[in-house]
Amino acid sequence: MRILITGATGFVGGHLVDHLRAVGGHNLFGLGRLGSESRVPGVEHHAAELADTPRLEEILRAIRPDWLIHLAGYANTGRSFREPGPCWADNLDGTRSLYSAIESSGSRPRILFVSTGLIYGDPLPGAPPFDERAELRPGSPYAASKAAADLLSYQQSRHPGLDIVRVRLFNQIGPRQSPDYAVANFARQIAAVEAGQLDRIETGDLSAERDLTDIRDIVVAFRMLLERGIAGEAYNAGRGRTWSMRDVLHRLVALANVRVDVVEKPDPNRKADAAVTRVDARKLVEATGWRPRFELDDTLRDILDWWRAEARAI
């Protein structure tokens, strides 16, 4: 199988490559931005901007992928309020350019468009967990741009008939994640306290509740959807239960080798998406048989161990 991954050098892309290499039998290709020095072992890298449709078409003609996983784009929710233009350009215009290049290239790969559960926004009082039929009520430029690209992906599956499956991710966590994300940031600070580099950790508001799934489970769902998903359909990917960020932090602190003092400093100016995210992922389970393997505490231990190694390297 010839597999092209846009955004292969990112957090999700790196774990996807790890999984596909472990499965074996695939030729892996990555698409990254011009000027990027990032490389993933075992992946043949190509450079292009998503807006450059002719260059994308050239790459697609050369690779002729059987599968294409579209991960590339703008992914910072908080920063999208300050940078809505680049956010929309990457997530909507870039996706449209990619689909145009696919159609023009004459290749017909099976495509996995990776969306986000943030397109559902805040749950209404008393509402059930979000399933794929829920109204889209995005609360940030990031979520709105992904919602638009999600709908574009559906439209493109109708006309010109591209073979696109959509997956909507909720909160994925794991080793190697950027400290821009809460769980990774908690673990980074705890490792720094253990190494004597900090005397306490600071957090923002810890009241939010999140559906948390190990990224190593999520990338298995990607492969299963490429194998068994129905073109044009959307599938939620999540565990189906939530934890408060305060509970997650307490679990991480309990894994620490030293006493860890926590200072909570909510930012009144911080804009956030949903305070609570609950997902109904039965459609994914019924279509593929997917089940998460990693328990939360095991994932948290692996994340903390990774940051401990990073702290020792300083």
Instruction: Outline where the chain has alpha helix (H).
Output: 11-23, 53-63, 77-80, 84-88, 94-105, 141-158, 182-194, 215-228, 245-254, 282-288, 296-312
pLDDT at 285 over 70: yes
What pLDDT score does 166 carry?
A: 98
- The Cα angle at residue 85 between residues 206 and 98, in degrees rounded to 5: 100
Beta-bridge partner residues of 167: 114, 235
Instruction: Given CATH 3.40.50.720, say whether it is the number of domain 2-172+212-237.
Output: yes
CATH number of 174-210+241-277+294-312: 3.90.25.10
| Dihedral over alpha carbons 92, 57, 28, 91 (to 10 degrees) | -10
For the chain, the average pLDDT equals: 94
Question: 124-182: per-residue pLDDT in tens?
Answer: 888 899 999 999 999 999 999 999 999 999 999 999 999 999 999 999 999 999 999 99
Instruction: Supply the DSSP string of 218-269, one letter for each residue.
Output: HHHHHHHHHHHPPTT-EEEES-S--EEHHHHHHHHHHT-SS---EEE---TT
Q: What pLDDT shows up at residue 91?
A: 98
Q: What value, to the nearest 5°, has the Cα angle with vertex 19 and ends 308 and 112?
A: 120
Domain positions in the chain: 2-172+212-237, 174-210+241-277+294-312
Q: What is the structure's pLDDT at 130?
A: 95
Q: What angle do CA 95, 73, 119 make, to 5 degrees?
A: 80
Answer whether 6's CB lies under 8 Å from 31's CB.
Answer: yes
What confidence tier does 35 reach under pLDDT thresholds 50, 70, 90?
A: confident
> Which range in 29-43, 113-127, 261-275 is most confidently predicted, on average pLDDT?
113-127
CA torsion, ordered 174, 176, 181, 184, to nearest 10 deg: 70
Per-residue pLDDT tens digits for 93-127: 999 999 999 999 999 999 999 999 999 998 888 88
CB 40 within 8 A of CB 54: no
Task: List % helix, strand, coil for the chain (3-state, nearest 5).
Answer: 40, 20, 40
The label of the residue with tokens 């050239």 reads: 58
Domains 2-172+212-237 and 174-210+241-277+294-312 share a fold: no
DSSP letter assigned to residue 200? S
Q: What percent of the chain stands above pLDDT 70?
A: 96
